[in-house]
Amino acid sequence: MIQIYHNPRCGKSRNCLAFIEKSNQDFEIIPYLTETPSFDQLKILLGQLNLEPIQLIRTKEKIWIENFKGKTLSDDEIINAMVENPILIERPIVVKDGKAIIGRDPELVASFLD
């Protein structure tokens, strides 16, 4: 089953969800702002994405700029920042068959769902 870590206020996330809905595949919506992934879940997601924690951060978010920008943080500290401030997590994340992508590009989502 496909999972989408979704923020309904984000246009890219809404577009990705609409694309998944049209694929006629079973999916689950994870509203990550209210059902925040745990530290361990984020570590798994990072592995599925094949990304370093900093690559999953929305570095232009006010919370990041005011509290973390310019600081030297360990990977664990970055993951904890996402757990404590899920708005920092890049979106949407699409998971299928143990792999994941950041679904901002519809063409990438299309090839991922095939």
CA distance 89 to 107: 21
Please give the structure tokens belonging to residue 35.
Answer: 């059902």
16 as an active site residue: the answer is: no
Q: Which residues pair with 95 in a beta bridge?
A: 3, 100
Longest dimension (CA), the chain: 44
Q: Choose the catalytic residue: 10, 29, 33, 73.
A: 10
How far from 47 is each of 7, 18, 55, CA to CA, in Å? 21, 26, 12
Burial class (CB in 10 A: 0-12, 13-18, 19+), 87: middle
Catalytic center residues? 10
